[in-house]
């Protein structure tokens, strides 16, 4: 499966949660599949989905899912020790690991070569690191939500993209409706 197929499959699970979604195609895909106020779309700032999600999880009680990519985690690798050492049991980092920089044309990442992000996360001190195949993403994510334990999920899937438009919503509108959903 490619990322957009996974997002389509897990959209009913994501629908009830606060979601911080990675820059580029992941946000565009989620926006197309199930746009709602509980989605925070990143329009820029590659690498910070996990940091924004962690800050949000540490600051209020609702479950937060950061959707990230292997390339974006590599961009902000310092996030993993921060996550490990500041446990928020309402936080899930969902890394869609397709071994490529999808939004820029599927150039290979080091995670698609020798680097294993799940081992990096464990070495950083993350306690619940789960690796799953694309077809198992839904049940793995639901189990992580139900566990009420901070969890890092690394989903192994195929690289590939679908054609779709950019998000034209104003960033302040995205942020404002998201904050209202957080506070509701």
**Within a 10 A sphere around the Cβ of 16, how many other Cβ atoms?**
12
| Closer by beta carbon to other proteins, 146 or else 183 | 183
CB of 56 to other proteins, least distance (A): 4
Contact 149, 89 (CB under 8 A): yes
CB of 66 to other proteins, least distance (A): 9
| Closer by beta carbon to other proteins, 85 or else 133 | 85
- 64 DSSP β-pair partners: 18, 91
CB of 123 to other proteins, least distance (A): 14
> Dihedral angle at the C-alpha atoms of 147, 150, 151, 152, nearest 10 degrees?
170
Kind of pairing, strands 107-108 and 100-101? antiparallel
Positions that interact with other proteins (CB under 8 A): 20, 40, 42-45, 47-60, 64, 76, 78-79, 81-82, 86, 171-172, 174-175, 178-179, 182-183
| Closer by beta carbon to other proteins, 12 or else 125 | 125
CB of 50 to other proteins, least distance (A): 8
> Dihedral angle at the C-alpha atoms of 140, 143, 4, 68, nearest 10 degrees?
-90
| Closer by beta carbon to other proteins, 6 or else 64 | 64
């Amino acid at each position: 499966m490619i990322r957009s197929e996974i997002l389509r499959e897990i959209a009913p699970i994501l629908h009830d949660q606060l979601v911080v979604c990675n820059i580029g195609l992941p946000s565009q895909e989620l926006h197309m599949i199930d746009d709602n106020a509980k989605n925070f779309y990143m329009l820029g700032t590659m690498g910070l989905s996990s940091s924004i999600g962690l800050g949000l999880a540490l600051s209020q009680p609702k479950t937060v899912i950061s959707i990230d990519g292997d390339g974006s985690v590599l961009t902000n690798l310092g996030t993993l020790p921060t996550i490990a050492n500041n446990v928020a049991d309402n936080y899930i980092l969902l890394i869609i690991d397709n071994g490529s920089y999808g939004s820029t044309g599927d150039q290979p990442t080091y995670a698609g070569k020798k680097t294993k992000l799940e081992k990096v996360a464990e070495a950083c001190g993350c306690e619940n690191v789960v690796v799953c195949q694309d077809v198992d993403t839904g049940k793995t994510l639901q189990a992580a939500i139900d566990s009420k334990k901070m969890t890092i999920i690394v989903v192994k899937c195929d690289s590939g993209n679908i054609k779709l438009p950019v998000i034209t919503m104003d960033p302040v509108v995205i942020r404002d409706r998201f904050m209202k959903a957080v506070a509701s």
